[in-house]
């Protein structure tokens, strides 16, 4: 293969209007070096030609528009060119020209969808015995080969395994899983990957220049992303847009033709949602709906934006293949850093669910409005996995609501009340200096800042101690090893340090240690007489059985796959009933005489 990418093939002359040929056909690759995104296939086929190791049957599989049929034609030209076999067909001889136009008598292109019967395969078997009329090989290119019937595949097996030396088979399919394994084992298989956005954009720019027109970089980027890895789809869309617009293709023209919202409008809508302003989000949706907006396209754009948030949250500001224009990258980075990854993933779940339901619904706008409102309320949701953990570790929870569409549930009401502090929205505007006197109040603010589930783990420790300059030590007593391991994870320690800095206005280092006495610590074991120990075991077993039969806990065990770790002393105990005045004492069983009822 050539070391540098071959120049884009340019039509020899501009066709007359009545004989216009679409861009996807006029700019079809004619050499291995022109295959975009399939360099691995081109290299393998070129090496096979150079070493005279060309197989008798090939299978090309991949999505639509990635170059399967084009590669088959290039291979056919390489094998039958008058100056070949060669890796560089001349494109000048009669055989190369007829193969490129699909009219060569020795290269037969068969549509597997319309010629899928066994009779057609039997005819093929009868014809393979005859030598080609003028070329070296008789080549059969069967497109969408997975459409052949089972009988047709069976009739093809023997010929495919041992064809005459002058016959080559090239199969192309988009659904390789439908091809029998007996056919797959007789072919050399090449998987064609989807083409990246950047290579498609580069090829579109070359086409626009060759057509004597101009296009904005943002417009080409939108077309390339819209194609979804298909070069043919990108070229077809470009052809449509060049006919739709003027001499210069702009992003507004692309939005108008596709029924999509402008990038600025999408960012504005996403910002309203992330700021939990449902009213503004609905107002923006109403304004967009009045401009012939396709609701499905809007959901796709929002999903792309949330995908960008996820990628930036995981990889940082230099994440590749973002759909957001460069002028909005800074705001995207700030939004991603302000959100938790679970919240972003939950948002993607909501948008994906709305998109799936939109296909079969007559109330599209309502579904989109519901999705926006749910997205605006995501701060009130927590992952189910954390709720299961809180149940397993004995956090007192109120009534747990049913899970939402995003597989999230609201935090327990009891925990909400426990962690609510005075001040507007539980926050304090002025920093509070951390001293031994202010430590309890500062720690309470930290618990509020880190969230209810993390706070429930930190609440198991003793009150932290100031240790040296700008250092805070958190000690967990014996019996709280799980809580200590949970809290000393680096990302969670960083979260506590950030909350401390936000509360006190200065940086702090937090260290987690084991040991120490304490008020919140689990009671230490003591030596008890054997009989009392036996009674304790019986009581503990009974309490565990009662806990497992508790409706809320039983439901969590069944549905969420939770595990009961510990039952605290005093679980499910009720105060003894108050004595009733003038009520005679109940006699002991031995005091009940014959014929009397106890």
The structural domains of the chain, with segments of one domain joined by +, span 31-192, 263-380, 385-417, 424-514
Average pLDDT over residues 241-266: 84
Query: 295-321, pLDDT tens digit by residue?
Result: 888 999 999 999 999 999 888 877 777
pLDDT at 195 over 80: yes
Say whether domain 31-192 belongs to CATH 1.50.40.10. no
**Can you list the positions of beta strands (E) in 63-185?**
107-111, 138-143, 167-173
Among 562, 543, 566, smallest CA distance to 553 is for 562
d(CA 561, CA 479): 25
More confident residue, 524 or 165: 165
More confident residue, 518 or 235: 235
Query: 78-91, pLDDT tens digit by residue?
Result: 999 998 799 999 98
Superfamily the domain 424-514 falls into: DnaA, N-terminal domain (3.30.300.180)
Architecture of the domain delimited by 263-380: Up-down Bundle (1.20)
Over the range 411-421, which residues count as b (16 or more CB within 10 Å of their CB) and which as e? bbeebeeebee
More confident residue, 578 or 507: 507
Q: How confident is the model at residue 392 (pLDDT cuts 50, 70, 90)?
A: low
Identical fold at 31-192 and 263-380?
A: no
Coil/strand/helix, residue 393: coil
Residues 6 or more apart whose CB falls under 8 angstroms from that of 222 comprise 251, 254, 255
Query: 258-271, pLDDT tens digit by residue?
Result: 888 888 889 999 99
Q: How confident is the model at residue 481 (pLDDT cuts 50, 70, 90)?
A: confident
Q: How confident is the model at residue 533 (pLDDT cuts 50, 70, 90)?
A: very low
With contact defined as beta carbons under 8 Å apart, do 500 and 508 qualify? yes
d(CA 262, CA 298): 10
Q: Residue 589 carries which DSSP code?
A: G
pLDDT of residue 3: 43
DSSP count for the chain of H helices, then E strands: 25, 12
- The pLDDT > 90 percentage for the chain reads 32
């Amino acid at each position: 293969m050539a070391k540098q990418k071959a120049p884009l093939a340019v039509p020899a002359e501009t066709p007359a209007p009545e004989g216009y040929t679409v861009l996807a056909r006029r700019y079809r690759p004619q050499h291995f070096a022109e295959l975009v995104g399939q360099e691995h296939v081109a290299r393998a086929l070129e090496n096979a030609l150079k070493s005279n190791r060309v197989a008798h049957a090939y299978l090309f599989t991949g999505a639509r528009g990635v170059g399967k049929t084009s590669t088959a034609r290039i291979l056919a030209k390489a094998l039958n060119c008058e100056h070949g076999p060669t890796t560089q067909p001349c494109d000048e001889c009669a055989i190369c020209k007829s193969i490129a136009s699909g009219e060569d008598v020795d290269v037969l292109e068969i549509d597997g969808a319309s010629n899928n019967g066994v009779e057609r395969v039997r005819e093929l078997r009868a014809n393979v015995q005859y030598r080609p009329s003028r070329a070296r090989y008789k080549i059969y290119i069967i497109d969408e080969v997975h459409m052949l019937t089972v009988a047709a595949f069976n009739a093809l097996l023997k010929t495919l395994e041992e064809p005459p030396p002058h016959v080559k088979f090239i199969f192309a399919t988009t659904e390789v899983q439908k091809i029998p394994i007996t056919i797959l084992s007789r072919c050399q298989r090449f998987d064609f990957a989807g083409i990246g956005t950047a290579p498609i954009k580069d090829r579109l720019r070359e086409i626009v220049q060759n057509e004597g027109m101009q296009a904005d970089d943002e417009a080409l980027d939108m077309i390339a992303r819209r194609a979804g890895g298909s070069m043919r789809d990108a070229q077809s869309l470009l052809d449509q847009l060049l006919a739709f617009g003027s001499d210069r293709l702009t992003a507004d023209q692309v939005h108008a033709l596709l029924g999509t919202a402008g990038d600025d409008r999408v960012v504005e809508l996403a910002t309203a949602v992330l700021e939990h302003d449902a009213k503004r989000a609905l107002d923006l949706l109403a304004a967009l709906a009045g401009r012939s907006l396709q609701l499905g396209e809007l959901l796709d754009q929002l999903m792309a934006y949330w995908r960008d948030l996820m990628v930036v949250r995981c990889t940082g500001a230099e994440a590749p293949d973002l759909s957001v224009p460069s002028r909005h990258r800074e705001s995207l980075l700030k939004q991603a850093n302000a959100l938790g990854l679970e919240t972003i993933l939950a948002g993607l779940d909501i948008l994906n669910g709305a998109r799936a339901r939109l296909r079969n619904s007559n109330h599209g706008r309502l579904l989109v409005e519901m999705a926006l409102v749910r997205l605006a309320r995501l701060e009130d949701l927590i992952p189910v996995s954390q709720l299961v953990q809180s149940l397993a570790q004995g956090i007192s929870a109120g009534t747990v609501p049913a899970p939402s569409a995003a597989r999230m549930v609201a935090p327990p009401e009891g925990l909400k009340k426990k962690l609510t502090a005075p001040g507007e929205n539980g926050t304090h505007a002025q920093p509070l200096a951390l001293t031994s006197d202010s430590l309890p109040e500062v720690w309470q603010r930290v618990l509020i800042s880190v969230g209810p589930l993390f706070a429930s783990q930190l609440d198991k420790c003793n009150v932290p101690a100031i240790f040296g300059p700008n250092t805070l030590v958190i000690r967990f007593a014996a019996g709280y090893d799980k809580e200590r391991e949970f809290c000393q994870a680096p990302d969670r320690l960083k979260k506590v340090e950030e909350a401390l800095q936000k509360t006190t206005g200065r940086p702090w280092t937090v260290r987690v240690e084991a040991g120490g006495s304490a008020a919140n610590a689990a009671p230490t074991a003591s030596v008890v007489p054997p009989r009392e120990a036996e009674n304790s075991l019986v009581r503990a077993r009974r309490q565990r059985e009662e806990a497992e039969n508790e409706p809320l806990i039983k439901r969590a065990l069944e549905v969420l796959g939770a595990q009961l770790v510990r039952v605290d002393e005093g679980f499910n105990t009720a105060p003894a009933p108050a004595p009733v005045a003038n009520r005679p004492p109940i006699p002991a069983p031995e005091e009940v005489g014959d014929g009397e009822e106890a």
